[in-house]
């Protein structure tokens, strides 16, 4: 089959096409699906190959999720109700759900929440000072992930350091991958992982001190940045292969997960 | 005066009113998207462009009609857009508003950034 003919018959992922059609109004459904298919076959597929073309297509579909569906749903709901629901959910989570699931006192949860809000505020302030936010931003997301896991695991009735370490291993690898994806440099991936690791180490030390948890000798935590460097390098070597604008959607998904 | 157009809305309207590329002159969704990317000098998402087209059409600034598509799009129709007189007027007003804003100001501005 010639390349041109193959491009003419190649189709984007079925599920993505189905999702796209579900997001669009009947009036514009066929025309927009046709435009995307045309761009997919005539421009994107010949330029970047099947895998990246499919990632591009999914990304376009996701842009409709943001731009149309969610906005339309949000516009249908009065702002007062939206804010009210948000505040109610937050309050319910902080006062009932999180304390019930983790066994933490309500006051502890509220203090942790205030800490997260302050950290986010600080991160936003730093963001305004730094033009290139990608690496500090990635590192911060990793830290936030680990802080959440730490808060949940460390405060559970039975403290399980193993679970924390597993989370650490996974997050460091993702940090390396993510850092290399954004910059195309393995070095940046390693730096992102090590940067995250240092903040994570500080968090662990602080947690075990404040909560008087059983722990191995604190000196042993110095191995964490080293482990982060190794895992970050592994992730970065893999992530460097995916340097491409459309990989942002993968990173976004990973960050959300 | 009608609502002031945003930058993105202006880019979309200008892409329809004064396309600068051969593809852009066809004035269907994909062509407009490419034209907008060219004007803004950055990639834009399809969702943003089509949502803007929808909004502009609801405001009566543009109109559209569908025509049959070809094999490259599996026979799916194309929706062609054209700008209305109201749209031209809105563009002129947007430009005039910016000109008024900058009247008497030397550009580029100098001083602390």
Contacts 24+ apart (CB under 8 A), A155-163: A155/A102, A155/A103, A155/A104, A155/A108, A155/A211, A156/A102, A156/A103, A157/A103, A159/A213, A159/A214, A161/A215, A161/A216
Give the mean pLDDT of B74-101.
92
Per DSSP, what are the bridge partners of residue A227? none
Cβ–Cβ under 8 Å, residues A174 and A213: no
Separation between Cα atoms, residue B26 and residue B7, nearest integer Å: 22
Out of A66-70, A116-120, A213-217, B45-49, which region has the weakest mean confidence (pLDDT)? A66-70
For the stretch A176-199, pLDDT in tens is: 776 666 666 667 667 767 776 777
Q: What is the CATH number of the domain that holds B85?
A: 1.10.10.10
B90 in a domain, yes or no? yes
Cβ–Cβ under 8 Å, residues B78 and A35: yes
Out of A8, A31, A67, name the one closest to residue B76 (CB).
A31
pLDDT of A253 higher than 50: no
Q: How many domains does chain B have?
A: 1
Domain limits for position B98: 7-102
Out of A1-15, A78-92, A237-251, B26-40, which region has the weakest mean confidence (pLDDT)? A237-251
For the stretch A134-173, pLDDT in tens is: 556 666 666 676 666 666 656 655 555 566 666 667 777 7
B1 in a domain, yes or no? no
B107 in a domain, yes or no? no
- Structural domain spans, chain A: 3-75, 130-256
Q: B45–A39: do the CB atoms touch at under 8 Å?
A: no
Interface test with A, best of B24, B42, B73, B81 (most A CBs within 10 A): B73
B66 in a domain, yes or no? yes
State the pLDDT at residue A255.
Answer: 40
Measured CB to CB, residues of chain A less than 8 Å from chain B are 8, 28, 30-39, 41-42, 59-60, 62-68, 71, 245
Cβ–Cβ under 8 Å, residues A189 and A232: yes
- CA-nearest of A152, A167, A46, A168 to A102 is A152
For the stretch A6-41, pLDDT in tens is: 566 688 888 888 888 888 888 888 999 999 999 999
B112 in a domain, yes or no? no
Average pLDDT, chain A: 69
């Amino acid at each position: 089959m010639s390349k041109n003919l193959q491009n003419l018959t190649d189709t984007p992922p079925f599920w993505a096409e189905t999702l796209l059609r579900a997001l669009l109004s009947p009036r514009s459904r066929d025309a927009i699906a046709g435009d995307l298919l045309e761009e997919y076959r005539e421009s994107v597929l010949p330029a970047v190959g099947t895998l990246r073309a499919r990632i591009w297509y999914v990304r376009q579909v996701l842009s409709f999720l943001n731009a149309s569906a969610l906005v339309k749903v949000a516009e249908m709901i009065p702002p007062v109700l939206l804010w009210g629901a948000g505040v109610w959910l937050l309050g319910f989570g902080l006062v009932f759900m999180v304390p019930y699931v983790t066994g933490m006192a309500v006051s502890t949860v509220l203090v942790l929440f205030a800490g997260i809000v302050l950290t986010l505020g600080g991160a936003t302030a730093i963001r305004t000072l730094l033009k290139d936010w990608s690496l500090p931003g990635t590192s911060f997301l990793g830290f936030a992930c680990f802080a959440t896991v730490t808060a949940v695991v460390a405060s559970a009735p039975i403290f399980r350091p193993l679970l924390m370490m597993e989370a650490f291993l996974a997050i460091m690898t993702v940090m390396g991958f993510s850092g290399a994806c954004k910059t195309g440099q393995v070095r940046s991936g390693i730096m992102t992982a090590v940067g995250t690791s240092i903040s994570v180490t500080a968090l662990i030390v602080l947690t075990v001190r404040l909560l008087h948890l059983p722990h191995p000798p604190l000196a042993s935590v110095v191995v964490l940045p080293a482990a982060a460097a190794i895992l970050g390098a592994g992730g970065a070597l893999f992530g460097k292969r995916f340097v491409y604008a459309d990989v942002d959607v993968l990173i976004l998904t990973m960050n959300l997960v | 005066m009608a609502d002031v157009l945003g930058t993105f809305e202006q880019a979309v309207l200008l892409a329809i009113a004064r396309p600068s590329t051969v593809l852009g002159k066809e004035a269907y969704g994909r062509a407009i998207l490419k034209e907008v990317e060219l004007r803004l000098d950055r990639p834009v998402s399809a969702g943003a462009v089509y949502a803007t087209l929808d909004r502009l059409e609801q405001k009566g600034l543009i109109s559209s009609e569908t025509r049959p598509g070809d094999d490259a799009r599996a026979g799916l129709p194309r929706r062609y857009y054209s700008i209305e007189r109201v749209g031209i007027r809105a563009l002129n007003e947007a430009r005039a508003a910016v000109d008024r804003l900058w009247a008497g100001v030397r550009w580029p501005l100098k001083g602390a950034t």
